[in-house]
Structure 1
Amino acid sequence: MASPAILKTVLFLRVFSLLALAASVVLMGLNNFTDFDGFKIRFFDLIAYRYVFAAGAIGFLYTLIQIPFALYNVVTEKRWIRNGFLQQFDFYGDKTMAFLLASGVGVGFGVSFEFKRLSGDDLSSKSKKFLDMGNISTGLLLVGFVSMALLSIISSNRRSSSSPIKGFFK
Structure 2
Amino acid sequence: MPPPSTAVVWRSVGLTLRVVTVISLLVSLIIISTNTATLSSNFSRIEIRFQDVKAYRYVLATIVIGLVYSLLQTAFTIYHVTTGNRIAGDALYIFDFYGDKLISYLLATGTGAGFGVTVDLKDANSGTNTGIDKFFNKANAASSILLLAFIFTAISSVLSSLALPKKA
User: 1:151 deviation in Å?
Assistant: 0.6
Give the TM-score taking structure 2 as reference length: 0.92
**Size of the alignment, in residue pairs?**
161
Does the CA contact (< 8 Å) of 1:109 and 1:135 recur in 2?
A: yes
Match of residue 119, structure 1, among 125, 134, 143 = 125
- 1:101 aligned partner: 107
2:97, 2:161 within 8 Å by CA — same for their partners in 1? Answer: yes
Partner amino acid for 2:120? E
2:57 equivalent to 1:50: yes
Which one of the candidate residues 3, 12, 16 is aligned to 2:16? 12
Residue type of the alignment partner of 1:22: L
**Which segments of 5 or more consecutive residues in structure 1 lack a partner in the other structure?**
164-170
1:1-170 to 2 correspondences below 5 Å? 3-36=7-40, 37-82=44-89, 84-122=90-128, 124-163=129-168
Which consecutive unaligned segments of at least 5 residues does structure 2 have?
none
- SS of the equivalent of 2:45 reads coil
Post-superposition Cα deviations, 1:32-89, rounded to whole Å, max 9, x if no partner, equal: 012103211100000000011110011001111111110011112221221x221111
User: Alignment identity in percent?
Assistant: 35
* Secondary structure of 1:35's aligned partner: strand
Query: What CA distance in whole angstroms lies between the structure 1 residues aligned with 2:95 and 2:47?
Result: 42
TM-score by length of 1: 0.91
Return the letter of the residue paired with 1:68. Answer: A
Residue 162 of structure 1, CA deviation: 2.3
